[in-house]
């Protein structure tokens, strides 16, 4: 049936049960897993909102902004690495072959669809946890984009 499952790892933070639904499914189907974590580029405004340095009126403002952006990107990569390491360990514990992929500069859905095509995956598994109108709206937009996928998408609701 399904031989290669793509597991979106930057979906539901609350759904970090070990092992997750996608890994259990891969185990039962004797499939392999590609875990994907996609990071969008943060804008300068988002970085400034995160670090709230106040008005940048001094000569080192540009340097401080670049340092803040580099620090935020490093933090994103650390989070991605932890998610992928946890997924790799869960797969290893169950004897499921695993490959991790971390992309930057893509929207999560576009990145997932890109990796799905590149790796020849035949099922996408993701989790969702809508807690409010904003989350529901973004989940609907992502679902519409994922609906354009040429392969099936299994969306597990956790929470």
Q: What is the pLDDT of residues 104-135, one digit of tens each?
A: 888 778 888 899 999 999 999 887 655 544 45
Q: State whether residue 12 is helix, strand or coil.
A: coil
Distances (CA, A) of 68 to 38, 40, 62: 20, 16, 10
Domain at 4-40+82-157: CATH architecture: 3-Layer(aba) Sandwich (3.40)
- Provide the CB-side half-sphere exposure for 143 (13 A, CA): 13
Whether the CB-CB separation of 149 and 113 falls below 8 Å is answered with: yes
- Which pLDDT band holds residue 26 (cuts at 50, 70, 90)? very high
Where are the domains positioned within the chain? 4-40+82-157
Q: Output the pTM of the full model.
A: 0.75
Tell me what pLDDT residue 19 has. 65
Tell me what pLDDT residue 59 has. 58
Helix extents (H) in the chain: 21-29, 44-51, 61-94, 108-119, 133-146
């Amino acid at each position: 049936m399904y031989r290669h499952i793509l597991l979106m790892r930057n979906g539901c933070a609350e759904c970090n049960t070990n092992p997750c639904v996608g890994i259990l499914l891969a185990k039962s189907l004797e499939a392999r897993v590609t875990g994907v974590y996609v990071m969008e580029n943060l804008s300068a405004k988002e970085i400034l909102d995160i670090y709230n340095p106040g008005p940048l009126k001094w000569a080192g403002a540009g340097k401080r902004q670049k340092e803040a952006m580099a620090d935020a990107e490093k933090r994103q990569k650390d989070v991605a690495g932890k998610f992928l390491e946890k997924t790799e360990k869960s797969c290893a514990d169950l004897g499921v072959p695993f490959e991790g992929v971390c992309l930057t500069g893509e929207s999560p859905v576009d990145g997932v669809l890109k990796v799905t095509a590149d790796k020849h995956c035949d099922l996408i598994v993701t989790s969702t946890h809508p807690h409010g109108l904003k989350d529901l709206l973004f989940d609907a937009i992502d679902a519409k984009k994922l609906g354009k996928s040429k392969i099936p998408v299994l969306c597990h609701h956790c929470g």
